[in-house]
Structure 1
Amino acid sequence: MEQLGRRGFLVGVGVVALSAGMALPASADRWPGRYSANGWPVRAKGLTEVGVEGSAAAMTVLGGAVATLLGHVARRFHYEVAELGPGDIHSHTTDPRVGAPLESNYLSGTAIAILPTRFPLGATGGLFPHEIAVLRDILADCSGTIRWGGDDPTTPKEGHFQLDVPPREAAQAAHTLTSAGTIPDPFAPTRRSRALALERRQRRR
């Protein structure tokens, strides 16, 4: 897998799996492949439960770099966007029913849906501009390895975050994260410029 180029690795086909407890649309279908839409293998093992620092929220995701990166996203979301509690994050599932391609990434343990009832599939406008700016800064913190569901051009999901790179790139980015407990200023000029540059790159793909 690591020998594939970024674009080739990310090629995916089909529709998405939802976590347990999430409402499925009438059009929900079964994800047919052995890989989720972001190119990671669909799995039932090798997962880990990760608690979100400072909250009672937890998620089940692939261990290692994936857990580090998605844990960073959830931690900053909790401190800077909205407080999270038990059941506020949907993550890995073995239920193959899907509602849109991005959700298939729950099957591989490489995606989370934060506050899924507040940010349902296909809905937009659930975040204020300053909250979106924070999310853009979080993505930049993760060196572009995480993609935000709000950018999906077909079926957006504003609480969704997924791995967007192969394992090697994910491992490299996990080592560069801001230390836990640190809350940066997402509006500092250098950070804002970095976040906007990443937004332009990710929207082009």
Structure 2
Amino acid sequence: MNRGLDWQELAQLLLTATGETLYMVLLAALFTALIGLPLGVLLFVSRPQGLLPMVRLNRLLGTLVNLGRSLPFVVLLIALIPLTRMVVGTTLGSTAAVVPITIGAFPFFARIVENALEEVDKGRVESVLAMGGHIGHVIFKALLPEALPTLLAGLTLTLVLLIGFSSMAGVIGGGGLGDLAIRYGYQRFNNQVMFATVVVLVVLVQCVQSVGDRLVRSLAHRR
């Protein structure tokens, strides 16, 4: 910009961009959990020594998850432009950005779920099976309840990851704080906007991490 922004203009831009970022993060978090949780459970139970061994399926899913985790998110953003246009009808805006953000995040959360279930005491699983329980009982009565604190901690990490992804989505016009930093800060050499967006992003991450840590400690204390 050729002139600096006054505080009222900057505050309005930050408020709008923060709302768009929260919209992207919360919606992507919902889809990430809906996809990543059952995928992580399936990865766990389909292991060769798991409750429902399916070696080929496990290897296939594991390969896909590892591939999704290994791709740089900026590359994924560009590669998924055709899919985003197909699903949403456009590649611009906060809603469109939810598609690549979700696809980039759910493999990460799936691995977290798998690792969390692995930490559950095997004795709890065996006791459910000894009482005649089937695999559904084991998952919903033993595995998920016992792994809940770890899952919540993993979800907190995933939310922090989603905030970072939502910022990078600004590269392709995804809206939010990242888009604000690029269009008003970087492209117009406005350090005021750059600094303000960084501060807001740091505050968002700290708030998410703090709330998540408190919930995990509270849940662990009750147990």
**TM-score (normalizing by structure 1):** 0.26
Q: Larger % of strand: which?
A: 1
**RCO higher in structure (CA 8 A, sep ≥6):** 2
- Higher-Rg member (1/2): 2
